[in-house]
Amino acid sequence: MLGLPSVPAFCLRPRDPRRGAVLTLTFVAVVAVGAFTGCWDREDGAAAAARSDAPPRGPRAEGTADREAVARAAAEAVAEGKSGKKAAQEVVSRSGDRWGTVYDRGEYAAFAEGLDGHWTGVGVWAVRAQDGMITVDGVQPGGPAARRGLRAGDRLLSVDGHAVTGLAVADVVALLRGTAGTPVVLNLSRDGADLTETVLRERLSAEPVTVRQLAGDVTVIKVTSFTRGSGERVRAAVRAAPAGGGVLLDLRGNRGGLVAEAVTAASAFLDGGLVATYDVRGEQRVLNADPGGDTTRPLVALVDGGTMSAAELVTGALQDRGRAVAVGSRTFGKGSVQMPTELPDGSVAELTVGTYRTPAGRSLDGGGITPDVPAGERAEERAVTVLGGLGVGP
């Protein structure tokens, strides 16, 4: 992916050749406004960029866009003085690639910025339903949208007068972005009634990993996203946990992040070995944990329907390896692999090229992870009870 020096992290070489090649586990349909996606962190940009321009050739899976057709459509549009991004998006939309999308250069750079845990926006997460309706999936506590009363479940109809129904979430994100301090007018539908809110954009940030202690030497490690540095923070929290105590790894609402960070987080509880396999156009690769993790401390992974992508990768690995008991509700089920392709006008197409599987060979795409112990509203209580059964807790 040549010519994108401003993009700090996307599809670059993993830290260890055992961990596979260039890929992203992108959850494009659920995006924090300025948020994050699953991808490799940067190590050697030039070499990895060269590799991303020459991925392994193989059969194209059903429901994926043809990379050459997308690039050709963009090139023809640019030659005619039209929008290469728009032409490419039309090809992606027709292909049935559920997770494929196209960013212009600025959108892609801003999207990547969120991988550092900082972004400019209003502080909401959005999803697009099959009918094209854009719905608020979550609101950042204390953020500008939350202060104006936006709630999960609100339907977003327009942004500054631009209708958003049927748009890709990336395009909705682009409308919501802008300069900090500038207003954005949101037309919403809630419980059948329309309402309008004016929200001021802000420079936002989020702490991806927080730690708290419960009675009985139980350490709760909450990971909201796998942004840069989060994996090592998980490892540090495990090392600092009381000797003989248990860990509750809370991945509820975690929409994914950098794959390398997710592998590092899983490594905190494993002594090497397989985390996941994935395929890129029919060629299988592997993701392995680092050696030296804590393999004896009792561990519960707390999950829900908002646990997605790279967070599902971690949960599936710990569950299949017999390292953790999963408690909560079924996870989202996003297990496809995307790769970026730079287009002639500088825009970037993220196209699905394959899927990943857990160590036991399970594909999570569409089905998600079924927890070992189902739990609803009092899931944390249930998780603590499970830890008690493993020998720790009050």
Q: Nearest CA to 110 among 159, 176, 12, 207?
A: 176
CA distance 357 to 353: 14
H or E segment to which residue 196 belongs = strand 193-200
> Where do runs of H (alpha helix) occur along 60-218?
67-79, 84-95, 105-113, 144-147, 169-176
Catalytic residue, from 309, 329, 336, 347: name it. 309
H or E segment to which residue 237 belongs = helix 230-240
Catalytic residue, from 52, 85, 95, 334: name it. 334
Q: Known catalytic residue: 334?
A: yes
CA distance 56 to 319: 31
CA distance 252 to 137: 13
CA distance 174 to 84: 17
CA distance 25 to 334: 8
Q: Does residue 308 sit in helix, strand or coil? A: coil
CA distance 216 to 327: 19
DSSP conformational letter for 298: -
DSSP conformational letter for 92: H
Burial string for 80-112 (b: 16+ CB within 10 Å, else e) reads eeebbbebbbebbeebebbbbbbbbbebbbbbb
Contact predicate 250/212, CB 8 Å = no
Contact predicate 339/26, CB 8 Å = no
Q: Nearest CA to 32 among 99, 119, 100, 130?
A: 119
What does DSSP say about strands 124-128 and 134-139: parallel, antiparallel, or unpaired? antiparallel
Q: Does residue 47 sit in helix, strand or coil? A: helix
Which positions are annotated as active-site residues?
309, 334
